[in-house]
């Protein structure tokens, strides 16, 4: 069974700092990988979707990379802002059409 792990579980950084969130998965037979953010009391908002054939995706200050062979993905956030404070989750869609979520990294950006 696919296992998705996110490290660290929590992260606190000063405003303006660049940061990296990590996601690892045990089975490289994936269809795609998706990064979400979740604000308290809200559902998940999709940030970036990387297909298995792609290496990275960018949206504004966010950049996500995918190394399928090593089972890793990173989410890079440039010039962090207090509004970036949220929980970030990665999710893997396997080639068998199963969906697996990590437990998330809780990010706090301090003004």
Partner 1 sequence: DAGVIQSPRHEVTEMGQEVTLRCKPISGHNSLFWYRQTMMRGLELLIYFNNNVPIDDSGMPEDRFSAKMPNASFSTLKIQPSEPRDSAVYFCASGTANQPQHFGDGTRLSIL
- Among the listed ranges 8-16, 69-77, 78-86, 99-107, the one in contact with partner 1 (CB under 8 A) is 99-107
Judged by beta carbon, residue 70 or residue 98, the one nearer partner 1 is 98
Phi-psi region of 18 (alpha: psi -120 to 50; beta: other; left: phi over 0): beta
DSSP 1-23: ---EEEE-SEEEEETT--EEEEE
Q: Which CB sits closer to partner 1, 75 or 89? A: 89
Q: If binding is defined by CB under 8 A, does position 32 make contact with partner 1? A: yes
Contact stretch for partner 1 (CB under 8 A) within 7-15, 18-26, 62-70, 89-97: 89-97
Could you say which residues in the range 34-73 bind partner 1, by CB under 8 A?
Answer: 34, 36, 41-46, 49, 51
Instruction: Please tell me the distance from the alpha carbon of residue 35 to that of residue 84, in angstroms, as a whole number.
Output: 14
Taking the C-alpha atoms of residue 33 and residue 51, their distance in angstroms, rounded to an integer, is: 7
As beta bridge partners, residue 100 has: 92
Q: Which residues bind partner 1 (CB under 8 A)?
A: 32, 34, 36, 41-46, 49, 51, 89, 91, 97-104
């Amino acid at each position: 069974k696919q296992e998705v792990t996110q490290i660290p579980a929590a992260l606190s950084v000063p405003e303006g700092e660049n940061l990296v969130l990590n996601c690892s998965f045990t089975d490289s037979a994936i269809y795609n990988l998706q990064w979400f953010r979740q604000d308290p009391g809200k559902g998940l908002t999709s940030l970036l979707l990387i297909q298995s054939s792609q290496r990275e995706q960018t949206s504004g200050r966010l950049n996500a990379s995918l190394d399928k062979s090593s089972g890793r993905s990173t989410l890079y956030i440039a010039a962090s802002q207090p509004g970036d404070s949220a929980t970030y989750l990665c999710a893997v869609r396997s080639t068998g059409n199963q969906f697996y979520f990590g437990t998330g990294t809780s990010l706090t950006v301090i003004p």
